[in-house]
Amino acid sequence: MSDTPHGIRMIDVGAKPVSLRTARASGRIIAQPETIRRIRANELEKGDAIATARLAGIMAAKRTSDVIPLCHPLPLDSVTVTLGFEERAVTIEAIVRATARTGVEMEALLAVSAAALSIYDMCKSIDQGMSIEGVRLEEKTGGTRGEYRRE
């Protein structure tokens, strides 16, 4: 019988070697073309959605262990959040690096999610039909399981 409720436990990573870990995640927020135009032109009532989303993503990555219950708190070496545009979407990519005993996949995924939610929040008064889609891990490096790259 487990000493924790329902077998929930944080994995002991103490014996794992410290190595450079990286993760790249992506996602997008789909919106009306006029909403995308207003984001690009910095014409939103709340201000600069791109700068706000970038900051939200970075802040979220740094606080991942506060949001995802079984994640280890990690000292991150770097977090980069990049946003781009398509006719009906804002694309989001996050790259997270840490020298640690466990990976940074969750940090990258949370950075993308928070950036998308930030844009949603800033645009919800003008476009209630927005959707956040395709949040996924694109690649990771480091650790005992080695590299992963989405085909």
Catalytic residues: 121
Closest to 86 (Cα-Cα) out of 46, 148, 33: 33
Domain ranges of the chain: 25-141
Tell me which residue has tokens 């995308």. 36
Helix (H) or strand (E) holding 108: helix 105-123
Tell me if residue 60 falls in helix, strand or coil: helix
CA 93, CA 108: separation in Å to the nearest integer? 8
Query: Tokens representing 1?
Result: 């019988």
Least confident of 39-48, 86-95, 121-130, 135-144: 135-144
Q: What are residue 59's phi and psi, to 5 degrees?
A: -60, -40
Band (5; pLDDT cuts 50, 70, 90):
low
Q: Is the pLDDT of residue 104 over 50?
A: yes
> Structure pTM?
0.91
Arithmetic mean of pLDDT, 64-72: 92
> 75 with 100: CB under 8 angstroms?
yes
Least confident of 13-27, 47-61, 70-84: 13-27
Q: Is the pLDDT of residue 7 over 90?
A: no
Q: For the chain, give the percent of residues with pLDDT over 70.
A: 95
* pLDDT for the residue 1: 45
CATH number, span 25-141: 3.30.70.640
Q: Is 90 exposed, middle or buried (0-12, 13-18, 19+ CB in 10 A)?
A: buried
CA 48, CA 46: separation in Å to the nearest integer? 7
